[in-house]
Every structure is written in C-alpha cells, then in structure tokens.
Structure 1
Amino acid sequence: MADYDFDLFVIGAGSGGVRASRVAAAYGAKVAVAEEHRIGGTCVIRGCVPKKMLVYGSHFAEDLHDAARYGWTLGETSFDWKVLRDNVNADVDRIEGLYTNTLDNNKVEIFKERATITGANEVTLASGRKVTAKFILIATGAWPVVPKVPGAEFGITSNEVFYIDDLPKRVVIAGAGYIANEFAGIFHALGSKVTVVNRSDQILRGYDEQIRDRLFQISTQKGIEFVFNAAFEKVEKQADDSLSIHLEGHDPIGADLLLYAIGRSPKIEGLGLDHAAVDIDEKGAIIVDEDNRTNVPSIYAVGDVTNRVQLTPVAIREGQAFADSVFGNKPHRVDYANIPSAVFSNPPMAGVGLTEKQAREQFGAPKIFTSDFRPMRNVLAGKAERSLYKLVVHPDTDVVLGIHMISPDAPEILQAAAIAVKAGLTKAQFDDTVALHPSMAEELVLMK
C-alpha cells in the first residue's frame, strides 16, 4: 500500500469511525481520521451521553418530592440549570479526551478539520492538503432536520439544547419520536411547561402500541400537553424575545424555546460523494452492501450516514465488522435481528424483537402476556403511575418473539432480557426461571 499516504482514511470521528480507526490501526494499518467538530460524534458530544445525564438530573425533581413519604425532611430545595449544564458539558469534555487518547494510543493520525472526497482514493482537507488512501470510510453520521418554514431559524435542535443559557419557562417540542419524548420528560421535570407538537396523530411510531399509549397516558397526567395533526406555518419572534408558533388549523402557541426533534437525515452535504460517483438513496443515505461497501470498491460507510439502524451500538458493530473484515482477516457481518432499544422518557421505555402488531402480521395470532403493576416504590410514594411489561410469543413454537416494557429502570432490565430473545428462548423457559423477589424484573418470569 506504499502508493498511498494511508491504508485507511476515516471521515468522521463518531462512535463508528473511532471504532473502525482504532481496530484497523491495531491490525497494523496506517490510519488517519478527520473530524471537523469534536472527537466522539453525536452520541458523546451532543446526543445520548449528555442527554442521559440530563435525564438523571431531572429525576431528582420527583425523587426529592417522594422522599417525604420515606421519612426524609429536606427543607427548601431549588434547581440551578447552569450548574447541571456546566457539569454535564465538563464530563463531555472528559469523555472526548478519552476518545482522543484512544486514537493517539493506537497511532491514528487526527486531522481536526473538514475532509471531502475528491476521488475514489483521495480526500481533500479544509486546509487544501490532498491525501490519498487505499480505503476511505465515511462515518459522518446524521444531522437534525429543521422544517422549511418562515422563522425556522428561531428554533434550535438537539445539537444546541445542551448549551442554552437559561431554563425556559415554556418549551414547544416539534416531533414525537424518542428525542422529543425524552426532552419533554426532562424539561417538564425541571419545571418547564412543555407542549409536544406532531404532524401525525401518534407518538413513537414503530414502537409497541400498548407501551407507547401508556407513555402518552402518563405524560399527559404529569401535565405535558400534546398537539396532534399539526403542521408548522411560521415562527415569529416577539419584542420580548419569546416566540409565537403558528400551526395549521390551531391557535398560535407561545414559547420561550422551540426544539426541533422531527428526525435526522444522513450528513452528506458537501461531502463530495459525486466526485467518486458514490450512490445514495432517495433519502440521501449512502447505499452499502452487507459488508458496508459502497458501489465504489475503495469506499465504505458505517453508522447513521447509511440510514440502516440509527443507534450508536450498531454503528460501533459496523465499524468493528469493517475493520475486522478489511484489515484483520476476520470477515463477518452485523446481525440486525433483535436489536434492543430504549427511550429514556419519564418513565423510560425499552423493547426488543417483534411488536404485537409485527407479530400479528407475520404469524397471525401470537400469544400475548402482560403484567400491569404499580412498582413498590411508587406505592409507598403514593404515586398512581403503573408499569407495563409485555411478552410477544410465537403461537406454535412458544419462542419469545419480543419483550416490551415501560417502567423505572426498564432499559437496565431489558438489556439482560434481550439476550433471551436473541437466543430464541421459549416462554416455558422464562416460566422455569425462579423469580428474583422483590424486584420489578421478576414480572418477566411470572406472566400467566
């Protein structure tokens, strides 16, 4: 490979790009990675990591309220947004340093600038330097979608929400997917009045209907408002810097913050894919085969830029598979079946495998088992909020096709339960497992 400057040049130092870079370099490849923003990508810098910290911070609002029922006298409490914001961002800085150290320790050369593709084996850096590589890996991720309406620039996306100066009194969130529902829970718990606006008539499309309906019920009981079947017309800034948000067929809504969470699109703008004739689909995602290779043999892509499954662990698996296959002589492919996922709403949702609707479409009449209960902690705290666990079971083989739940700690419980679904265990094997009592998780093996 002496004819090239590098064996591998990676564009994007997010979860997939960092994993591919590190592993390829460990196999002996000469690797470089270009990142125009910060090492770590969406998840670490402006996504799941800082968001989960905000979720933790917001949970103290209810925890402090519940403490009195458990005998604690706390006195007057108050919340300082800036303290939480700054501590979260300081930890993001720490994690970015760890990612950078990982690349440095594996002798991956880092270019902290934008890189564009200018040929099948060539990239051009923002400085003007041209670099050649035997293989190019695109791992630029996805970017939040902003509606094309007058005044859209007055809203922000999840990229900016971690840096806002003050906690807004009134928040309007556009969209009803996982990002929208997570931030709805965060802002509401911290004291903001939250309104969720969605173009369709449902939240969390694609998740199990019974579970998402329970989240909607709990969210509305908490005081989060939902406006459905509403399209944005325009956003106006008022003299006091507040916003007036105009919707088709609805009265305007006043807000101090407008957060767009209407989806994410592959980040390919200005990447230079046309210079190498890399194929993209109708949604702007890079088309790859099962080995993450594009139609150009020297160019690969992993993660959200391919629009397969937009989850950090999936991008990491794809980066690992790419490096193992191309540089490690260990060819393998990512298995996309039974990928667990979670929504860190309040309370959180988690699921793996087929939803009830999907199972009915495939098998006609699956067996459905549910446990609808009030967690012990909520009972003593005097809270009516109920959890819901659900097993979707094959009608003939008794194999558990899916597990879906909404409950405190649901993501923590689901990770272990996902192993059972991935392994193809049966409902009888769940039943044969002795319950761990008293726990919420025991409901998984007690459903009749």
Structure 2
Amino acid sequence: MSTPQVTVETHQNEFLPAGGRTVDAVVTVTQTGAVSAAPARGAAAAEVVMIDVSASMSGAKLRAAKEAAIAALGVIPDGVAFAIVAGDTEAWTVYPGRSRLATSSPANRAEARLAVQRLRTRGGTTIGAWLTLAADLFRRHGATINHAILLTDGANGESEKSFDRVLERCAGLFVCDSRGVGDGWVARDLIKIAEHLLGTASGITDPGELAADFVAMTRTAMGKTRADVRLRLWTPAGATIRFVKQVHPEIIDLTGRRRDTGARVGEYPIGAWGAESRDYHLNIDLEPHPVGQEVLAARVSVVHGDDVLGQSLVRAVWTDDLSSTTTINRQVAHYTNETELADAILEGTAAQKAGDLDRATLKLGRAVQLAAESGREDTAKLLAKVVDVVDERTGTVRLRKVAASIDAEMAAVASRKTQQVRPRPAD
C-alpha cells in the first residue's frame, strides 16, 4: 500500500488593524493512505480494556460491559498485545494475569472471554488505580502504539490532586478513550482523561450500545500507523502563544502540554494517527508592526520522531483597510463558538452542582444561545432537559427544579465533540 501522506493547511484572516496584536488561525492536519495494517500488529501495538466492577455495576451494566469487552476482543488482530483489567478501589489483570500482556491469538482470545465472563462486582471506584495498572502494563511491554478503553458507571472516589498526578504520569504513554455508562458517572472525570491522554470521552445511557462502541474504538485504534506525533510551533521574538487547542473531532486543550525544544520552538503532543483529519486552533499575541508590513506569525510543523511530515505558515499583515481587518475567518469563528459552547456547559453544570444557581443560569443560558446560533440541534435537545428555555436568542432560561443529573453530564460530555467545517472555494 501507499506510504501515509500528511498535509497541513492554515485557515485564517491574516489582516490586523494598526496596533493589532492577536492572530487566530485554524490548522487542519490530514493523514491519507496507509502502509498496511502491519504497524498495528505484533510488538508495535497493545490494547488494554479497563472495566469498572464496583458494586454499582451489578446487573445489566456488568452484563453489557462483559459483552462489550468480548466484542472488542473479537476485533483485535492476531499478534497484538492485550489485557483485560478490572477495577474498583483497586485494579487487577483479569487476563492474562501476573501483570503482563498476552499476545492475541484464537486460543488466547478464547481464554480471555472465559475470564471476562467470571467477573463479579464489589467495592467502590478509584479510576487512578486502573490507569496506573494500565500504564505499568504498557511500560513493561514497550509497544509503539498503546491504546486503552476505560469504562465506568460512577464518580471517581479519589482526590482531584491524586487523580491529576496519575494522569500526568500516564500522559504520553498511551491514548485512552473513556466511557460512562448508566446514570452515575461524571463528565468532568471522563473529559480529564480525554484531555490528558488524547482520547475521546462519551456517555452511554443504554448499556446495550456498549458493544458496538467498544468495537468501533478498537478498530480505530488498530488502524493507527504512527504514534507520538507532535505539533511543532516556531514563533518570532516577542510573540506569546496564548493557547493551542485541538478543536476537531473533540476539544482538547493542549496549551499546558508544551515542551520547549529550541529557541522560540515548542512541541505539543497530538497522539497516534491513522487515516484521519483533525483541526487545531492557535491564538498568538504579536508585537505590533507598521501598517503595510507582513511577518511570519508562526511556522507549524507536524513531526514524528526526527521526520517533518508536513508544514504550514501563519501570517500577519497590518493594514488600515477596515473591510480586511473586520472579516472573520469561517473556521476560526466556528471553532471559537464551539469551544465557548462546551466551556459554558461544563461551567454551568459544575455551578449547578455547587449550588451557585445564578452562575449556572447564566452559563447554561449562554450555552442555549450558542447552540441555537451554531445550529447544534443535538446539544440544544440535551440542554432542554436541564433548563426551561424562555428565549434561545437571548439565552434566557430557567433551571429545571426536577432534572435528572445524567442529562447535565450528557450535555457536558457531548458538547466536546465538534462538527468539522470546511473552507468554501472563496475562503
């Protein structure tokens, strides 16, 4: 098959008014083609499935979790390393045991299925312990592409500081997709995992949908051909990078993950890649230049090891032409709204939990307004379960006196997924 090709495109309005400092750009990174399925085989790839077996998982949720794990086993190719981890307040390797990974084969997958069927519920929920064990398994095996699935139905019982320390230790070692099932999980826990471990976060209220989701996540992971890809940014003297965010397919703030690699050069981890396209929003503060002058605001490179896979430029041009400086780039406007929408929902639902009803009303009202403006009907429907909408145009809402807490969690986690917008021919 063909060698994977990477393209990097910049979407922006490069024109700034006299004295202007802020440059916004959306950078689209696309990988096409594939060498073969081989890079995700053998020692090159490893998969760990983490299943919550706390007491609240008993009944239909545990049965569905078992079915989902077994379904995921069915699509792990021969030669891929794998393990099944169970977790409550502790974590242990259900299969193959002895804190190691097995090599996928028909016989080993059959043994793993039997081990999964024997799972029973007990205890509470300490997600950090599960992630720590997964990290140890990946570290000992030494695969190139490491992927994990984490399923929980409840709130994490450890302190936020302890959880954050675990996530920092796991960051860069493996990608983790986090899932909540039922009605007791917390969106902020799942989002934290996705942000630190560069995965996806989602809530599933119907346990019957788990199996299809596990299969999809596993197949996607097995399609990755490059691990530890990074976004490298060079900026000129006097420039400050205010933020770097992945804005499609999910919102992940990468700003705090920068690693300086040279004079005015920093790298941001963007995880493992297959055939896919992602968008990144850059916001840069520049020293103003005279009207008519053009500068290079940033050089954006996608790198893998020592290889530069693709590159694009972000420009800044100072002008006194009002029509040029007031034009907002379509991609920048779209993702600015999407990010504000997601943040408003997360902040609003957190305020509601904390009893700050005025702030909750303000933030959730703004979310309703943004969802209406951007045509996010899916998000608007979820918000309508949390608030009574008086006027979506002005964001006037009333908090519902009786609302299922899961509706707020679903709205928060679903809003992190974005719709990609492509440039028009005239852009």
Q: Which has the higher contact order (CA 8 A, sep 6+)?
A: 2
TM-score band by shorter chain is: under 0.3
Q: Give TM-score, length-normalised by structure 1.
A: 0.25
Larger strand percent: 2
